[in-house]
Amino acid sequence: MDLKKARQLEAEVIAMLKPLAEKHGMAVRLKGGTIYPSELLIKVSIAEKSESGEALTREAITLREHAEQFDLPKDCYGKTVIFNHMKNEEFVLIGIKPRSWRFPVLAKRKDGKVFKFPINTVRKSLGLTPVAEVERNPWDD
């Protein structure tokens, strides 16, 4: 199977699942996949939607519920921040990955691309003072 055919099949599968997910008030998105010589393995995520209509991924739920454990404000989910080192582009905070202790914060750019940032970078952009660098994952306690 070639890449072009795989991308086309992925798009068609998502298009077919989208009405079903919306019928149940959920959002569907492609999570990746693997192309083998004679088959395509597609990973799909179907998640509940928030009040704003965005998918409530596990990273978003973790940020909403455990932001303070990462020295971030409790209400930081959905806030727009500007990172100076990224040409003053605006990003929206959308989640946190606890296992990624160096770059755990997920932020989405206007074009939809998701970037990972360190906690102190996010704290600075929120107008907070940086905290001491942690050499371990806070979830390992």
pLDDT digits (tens, 9 = 90+) for 57-116: 888 899 989 899 888 999 999 899 998 777 888 999 999 998 988 999 999 999 988 999
Q: 128 or 53: which carries more pLDDT confidence? A: 128
With a pLDDT cut of 70, the percent of the chain lying above it is 94
Cα separation, 36 vs 33, whole angstroms? 10
Please answer whether residues 60 and 77 qualify as being in contact, where contact means their C-beta atoms are separated by less than 8 angstroms.
yes
Reported as a pLDDT band with limits 50, 70 and 90, residue 135 is low
pLDDT beyond 90 at 133? no
Contacts 24+ apart (CB under 8 A), 103-107: 104/70, 105/63, 105/70, 105/72, 106/59, 106/63, 107/81
Q: 103 or 50: which carries more pLDDT confidence? A: 103
Average pLDDT along the chain? 88
- The pLDDT score that the predictor gives to residue 137 is 62
| Neighbouring C-beta atoms of residue 104, cutoff 10 Å | 24
pLDDT beyond 60 at 134? no
Please state, in angstroms and as integers, the Cα–Cα distance from residue 126 to each residue in 10, 13, 80, 121, 136, following that order.
Answer: 38, 39, 9, 9, 23
